[in-house]
Structure 1
Amino acid sequence: MVSGFVIHTLGTSVDESTNSSKVLYSKFFRYDLLDEQSLLYERMKRKQQISIVASQTRSMCHLRRQASGRPANDFTVHLSDEPISLLEEDIGVYSLEAGDPFTQEKIVLWVSVFSLGFSLICDLQENLALAEYTLRMLVKYLVDSLKLLTNSNNIVLSADKIEMSLDKFIPLGQLLFLNHQAVQVLERELSSKMSL
C-alpha cells in the first residue's frame, strides 16, 4: 500500500539555498477518525514526516547526481512543451527505519525532474517494481499534462488536478497493474474531466 505522495523542490531555485527543500504538494492516503485535538497533532506530525521525506529525497538526488559526474545543483530549466524523458540517475529508492519519522519502516521511491522531486512513500511489503512503474507514469503524466516545470506555482494552482490524477492512478493508496492501453484510457478520462 502507498502511504503518501510528495512533490517538492530540490533546493535549487533562486530564492532557496541548496540545503533546503520546499514542499509544494503532499497527500497521505490513510486517514483515521480522530477528534479535533488528535487531528491537529496528526497534522503537525504529518507535516514533519513530509519535510523529512523531502529533505532525504533532495539529499539522495544530489548524491546520485554527483556520483554520475554532474554537479549536484546542475538543474537545467525546462521551458519547452516537449515531453520529458527520465534519466536512470534521476530515479532512486531508500528506506526509512521504524520511528524515523514513521512508526513502521517505509520505502521511499523518488524521481527528480529538473528542479522538482516526486516521492512515493510505500509500505515495506509493497511491490517496488510496480511502485516504480506507477511513479514514472504518474510523474510523466503530471509534468506533461499540467506543465509543472514551467512555473512551480502551477503545482499550487493545479492541486485539484493532481488530486484527481492520484485518485485515478493510485486509488486509496492501492497500486494498479496497468498495461499501456489502460494507462491511455485513464489519461483520456482525466483529460476530459480536467477540461470541464
Structure 2
Amino acid sequence: MVYGFVIHTVGATLDETPNSSRVLYSKVFNYDMLDQKQNSDEQYLHNERIKRKQRIAIVARQAESMCLLSRQASGRPASDFIVHPTDEPIYLLEEDVGVFSLPPGDVFTSEKIVLWVSVFSLGFSLICDSQENLTLAECTLRTVVKYLVDSLKLLTNSSNVVLKADKIEMSLDKFMPHGQLLFLNHQATQALEKELSNSMPL
C-alpha cells in the first residue's frame, strides 16, 4: 500500500542551505482515516494534520539529500541538471532514481520505504509500506513522473505544480487509486494516459 506521494524542490548542489527542499504538492492516501473522525477533538485533529505535514517535509528533505548525493557521485557536470527549454520527453538515468528506508519510530510509527525520482529541479517521492512490491512501486513512480512532467509541463515553472494540483490529483487517482498500485502493461498505461488527456484538456 502507498502511504503518500510528494513533489518537492531539489537544490542545485549539496552546498546550498541545508534542508532547503520545499514541498510543492503532497497527497496522503489514508487521509480519510483522519478527516472522517468527525467526533474527535478538534484540537487533536489540528495537531495530527500538523504532524502529517511535518512528516511529509522530513521525507522531502531526506529525498533531496539522497538525490544530491547521487548526482554528486555520478560525476556529471552541474549543467546537466539545469532545465533546458525543450519539448522532448524526459529520460531517467540510474542516478535519477533511488530508494531509502525510514525505520519504525524515525518519522512514522511503522517502517516506510521511500522511492524517489529527480528531474532537474523537481523531486518526486513515493512513500510505501515496508511490505509493498518495490519493483512495481518504482515502475509506477517512473510512469507517473514521466506523465506528469511530459503532459503537464511541470518543469516550465515550479508554480505549475501548485497551479495544476487538481490535474496531478486526477492523475494519481488513475495510476494508484486509493494508494493501490496497479499492474499495467504498456497498452494499459497508454489507455490511462489517453483517458486522462481527454478528461482534462490543457
Give the TM-score category using the shorter length.
over 0.9
Q: Does 1:144 find its partner at 2:124?
A: no
Equivalent residue, structure 2, for 1:155: 161
Q: If the length of structure 1 is used for normalisation, what is the TM-score?
A: 0.94
Alignment of 1:1-196 (within 5 A): 1-12=1-12, 17-19=16-18, 20-31=20-31, 32=33, 33-34=36-37, 35=40, 36-70=42-76, 75-195=81-201
**In 2, Cα distance between equivalents of 1:190 and 1:39:** 34
Q: Is the 8 A contact 1:62 1:73 kept in 2?
A: no
Query: AA paired with 2:69?
Result: L
The count of corresponding residues between Structure 1 and Structure 2 is: 193
CA contact (8 A) 1:65 1:89 kept: yes
- Contact 1:98–1:105 (CA<8 Å) still a contact in 2? yes
Instruction: State the TM-score, normalizing by the size of structure 2.
Output: 0.91
Give the distance between the partners of 1:173 and 1:152, measured in 2 at CA: 25
CA contact (8 A) 2:12 2:78 kept: no
Q: CA deviation at 1:195?
A: 1.5
What code does the residue aligned with 1:110 have?
A: W
5+ residue gaps, structure 2? none
Structure 1 unaligned regions, length at least 5: none
Write the deviation string for residues 128-176 of structure 1: whole angstroms up to 9, x where unpaired: 0000000000000000000000100110000000000000000000000
Counterpart secondary structure, 2:7: strand
Q: Distance in 1 between matches of 2:43 and 2:17?
A: 36
How much has 1:117 moved relative to structure 2? Answer: 0.3
**RMSD of aligned C-alpha atoms?**
1.7
| Shift in CA distance, 184/136, structure 1 to aligned 2, threshold 3 Å | same
Measure the CA separation in 1 of the matches of 2:139 and 2:57: 24
| More divergent stretch after superposition (27-36 vs 166-175) | 27-36
Q: Matches of 2:120 and 2:25 in 1, distance apart?
A: 17
Please tell me whether the aligned partners of residues 109 and 120 of structure 1 are also in contact (alpha carbons under 8 angstroms): yes
Q: CA 1:127–1:72 in structure 2 vs 1: closer, same or farther (change >3 Å)?
A: farther
Partner deviation per Cα, 1:11-69 (whole Å, 9 max, x = no partner): 239xxx44310100000000213333222111101111011100000110111111111
**Deviation of 1:185 (Å):** 0.6
Shift >4 Å, 4+ stretches:
71-74
